[in-house]
Structure 1
């Protein structure tokens, strides 16, 4: 049998088995809202032999259709016809940078059934295309909420993601290295060669994105690095400086582990009240529809948050061998659960009331959406209120209907920021759009 036919047979078999196992369950699933808050009610784990696939096939937006905003708000496409946009950053002059990116090609030597299954899922979910390896500049010069200028700003990168401007240097977190470029205010293109600041963990790239944020004085840069596995099935030697946030000295390039045990920390932002660094984390799979909840949490210097040995505090994951009771004992419980398998990626604090006064101090989360949960979860942007720098209420959907009534993915939210003009920018990597939500 040819490799192509073999791959097709395996794909069909996996889909059929997944469908059978999903439909055969006797007990009703918890509601989509299960697994949120500071103290979620978590069920017992139900390990599976293979991942259950409940993928919303990526189809994009039909002409004239768009996501549904909260009452009192409107949404329009700020920019469209992008190439798998993932992350967004605003420059001081109001120009918007969008990282058009996908995971780097996996070396042939890294082939395995697990990796093949992951690639299959990614392709069905809309991520099965080569990386554009580009950052594009969007400019709304006339202030109407739609970018009339769209230009390639940086090209020939390597799966770029996080961006941060410090002084006249623009830092970009590629999949394998942190690099910098000279920046002049108002420029629409950079052709200078990148200067490497430091290497970043790469390799198998189970999680390839590298988020980035600078501290207030610009002396330190913080990079979110995901794990190389689900629960360290390839050994902890594959996880050095991964499942962590790294602190990098901007001048010397020297890095250190700032916090660990964070399976896949993606969104990073500073809490405007407490001054703490916060992150969104995608948790582990294959122990049930309602485990383990993704979360957001403040990140303390030197802290450990459990992965892979335990989750949501000190609940031991019995799959991990050898166990580490010493690390379980020191594991910190996250601040707020964001629902199981929601793929909560983007995180943005509302440091003032320019979008709307009721959002001041709270946080917006872009939930990319599940690929292995019944019923599906995520596929929306939510807001969580904060009081005195801490979460203080349930989530509110502010931009939804990214899935059709037939269960197809019209779009999938990733990065979120509030722009200087008071709009919420939402990157949609299936619709290839940056949406802009504003008060009306």
Structure 2
């Protein structure tokens, strides 16, 4: 759609000039101007103060977080509504999506491992639920919105200049999913570039459990699943089905398999069904929803329906209703050896449970054969003993030094977990 990722190894200025553009049509006139490298007249982007009473209060709250010996957690940035994150591979600039209308650019200029600037990114564009952000290895930022996908070459440099940035349309507005399936429920997408250089996107479906007469349309479009496409939006295909609402995925660098979390069906009781961490070993696999509400627990609505052949059950069953979201494989060198190659995952915390659970970071070891080992709590304390949330983790990403960032959309912050103990 007027965008060629294979041109991206060029320097930033040459890169911007090399993008093939097609003038946009429709309501988003500013996006059309950006594709032609024309200014939009948008005011200077808002910035977020990083000092003051809120920063002090967040640092005080972090004293309640429990971590393994030798680890510490600190405030990295105040970022309103911070959800999924992407770390630019050459500069370490962090971008954070939201479930509202903002993408944030977070810059640590002095490498003190704390943000100096937090500025709204590409404010000349009208984003709608820009939750999913991810980088290609050669530095293109992809933003997966509720029903559109955009691409931003050299985002960290163009974003420094103000509201106008180089932008390309990967999937036009209204073409990621059929508009009839747009919903405020399960509309937050996540994205990753796979080992095959394709763009993968999770597509949650809008129901708790979908009506049977909607299944064919969901399957056709990859909702309740994961789709993949070329980085220019071409050659789209459904990669995985039977996924209720995945809001986190990553590829295992060891064997290239795709792992993803999945949120289970609500209203089935406090302790069932379990949350999921899944492993896809090839295209076309079905992960059991809506016949199963989570794990091997059958849904009431589909308890008598025939289950598709070859359903893949989760590698890990998490606590019920903990709301497992962002995840990543740890490849850094800062943490002790036991964490190398394992999975960190964020639990957002429950709403559909009489006694809240979650609001923590989990760790799952991965065995040499590529399957899941033991799972344990890595960081907790955002949920107080009396059931109040001080924060709700959404995503985990690693900085270049091997430390771990944790986003929190409730407190509006990103934290940094580092290790300085004996390895």
When the two structures are superposed, what TM-score results if normalisation uses the length of structure 1?
Answer: 0.73
Matches within 5 A, 1:38-437: 64-66=60-62, 67-80=65-78, 82-102=79-99, 131=100, 133-155=101-123, 156-166=126-136, 167=138, 169-183=140-154, 186-189=157-160, 191-192=164-165, 194-198=167-171, 199-201=175-177, 202-218=181-197, 220-233=198-211, 235-236=213-214, 239=218, 240-299=221-280, 300-311=282-293, 315-320=297-302, 324-327=305-308, 329-388=309-368, 389-395=370-376, 397-437=377-417
- Specify whether residues 72 and 301 from structure 1 end up closer, same or farther in structure 2 by C-alpha distance, changes over 3 A only: same
Question: 1:351 deviation in Å?
Answer: 2.1
Aligned residues of 2:151 and 2:168 also touching (Cα < 8 A): yes
Question: 1:197 deviation in Å?
Answer: 1.5
Q: How far, CA to CA, are the matches of 1:244 and 1:431 in structure 2?
A: 30
Q: How far, CA to CA, are the matches of 2:165 and 2:58 in structure 1?
A: 39
- What number of residue pairs does the alignment pair up? 347
For residue 435 of structure 1, give the secondary structure of its aligned residue in structure 2.
strand
Choose between structure 1 and 2 for higher RCO, CA contacts under 8 A separated by at least 6 residues.
Answer: 1
Deviations 1:102-124 (A, max 9, x none): 2xxxxxxxxxxxxxxxxxxxxxx
Aligned residues of 2:360 and 2:393 also touching (Cα < 8 A): yes
- Specify whether residues 99 and 332 from structure 1 end up closer, same or farther in structure 2 by C-alpha distance, changes over 3 A only: same
Aligned alpha-carbon RMSD (Å): 2.3
Equivalence for 1:18: none
- Specify whether residues 346 and 168 from structure 1 end up closer, same or farther in structure 2 by C-alpha distance, changes over 3 A only: closer
Unaligned runs of at least 5 residues, structure 1: 1-59, 103-130
- Specify whether residues 230 and 61 from structure 1 end up closer, same or farther in structure 2 by C-alpha distance, changes over 3 A only: farther
For residue 338 of structure 2, give the secondary structure of its aligned residue in structure 1.
helix
When the two structures are superposed, what TM-score results if normalisation uses the length of structure 2?
Answer: 0.76
Q: How far, CA to CA, are the matches of 2:344 and 2:396 in structure 1?
A: 7
Unaligned runs of at least 5 residues, structure 2: 1-55
Q: How far, CA to CA, are the matches of 1:310 and 1:406 in structure 2?
A: 32
Aligned residues of 1:361 and 1:387 also touching (Cα < 8 A): no
